[in-house]
Amino acid sequence: MTTTTRPVQIAAPKIETVVFKIRGTSPYVQARFSAKAMQAMKNKMLLGSQAKKGKSREARDFEEDYQQAMHISTEGWPGIPASCFRNAMISACRLVGFKMTLAKLSVFVQAEGFDRVDGIPLIKLNGTPEKLEMAVRNATGVADIRVRPMWREWSAEVPVSFDSDQFSVEDVTNLLHRVGVQVGIGEGRPDSRESAGLGWGLFKLVND
């Protein structure tokens, strides 16, 4: 049996990184799944069938809901999950006919820090939040009040790494631009999975 040896033709990846400065053109709203809620779920699972026996309902702390809904880094600053930008850029590829499966392997957002609870990669969020209370309906149709942090004025610096064999700097710039005006990030964004959104989470690219 004869074997043929061929030289390797796979080229090394050409990864470039560009930092984009963005400024919100509509409010950014965040809804982190709280550590308290996760612990409550865990406790209920551990109790099994005894979970509801003789248990009284605790008073709801809306201020704590508000604080728990924020992503806070190990260094103490509020952040936006880096995956928000990456997922939004991949989604924006649908608008320009670029394969999303290739985009998943070609564009990345570099973290500036990590969530102090679960280590989620974060981009530093500049701005002052305020408490937002909204009446909503749960999946079961039951009315509820959700408390979320809202940044009416906000900005960030987003480090985007990309495969330059797939994208040029101009491509990545225009893709992030489309995210800012068409896709959005966070709660109530136009590209929300569950609705057409509220027009939140939009932004523009800035030079200053």
What pLDDT score was predicted for residue 1? Answer: 62
What global pTM score does this model have? 0.83
H/E stretch holding 89 reads helix 82-96
What pLDDT score was predicted for residue 42? Answer: 52
What pLDDT score was predicted for residue 136? Answer: 73
What pLDDT score was predicted for residue 48? Answer: 59
What pLDDT score was predicted for residue 81? Answer: 97
What pLDDT score was predicted for residue 62? Answer: 73
Are the C-beta atoms of 79 and 122 separated by less than 8 Å? yes
Domains with residue ranges and CATH for the chain? 15-33+71-128+152-206 (3.30.70)
Are the C-beta atoms of 67 and 60 separated by less than 8 Å? no
Helix axes 82-96, 169-178, angle to 10 degrees: 100
What pLDDT score was predicted for residue 43? Answer: 53
DSSP 126-169: BS--EEEEEEEE-TTS-EEEEEEEEESS-EEEEEEEEETTT--H
Residues of the chain short of pLDDT 70, as ranges, are 1-3, 33-57, 59
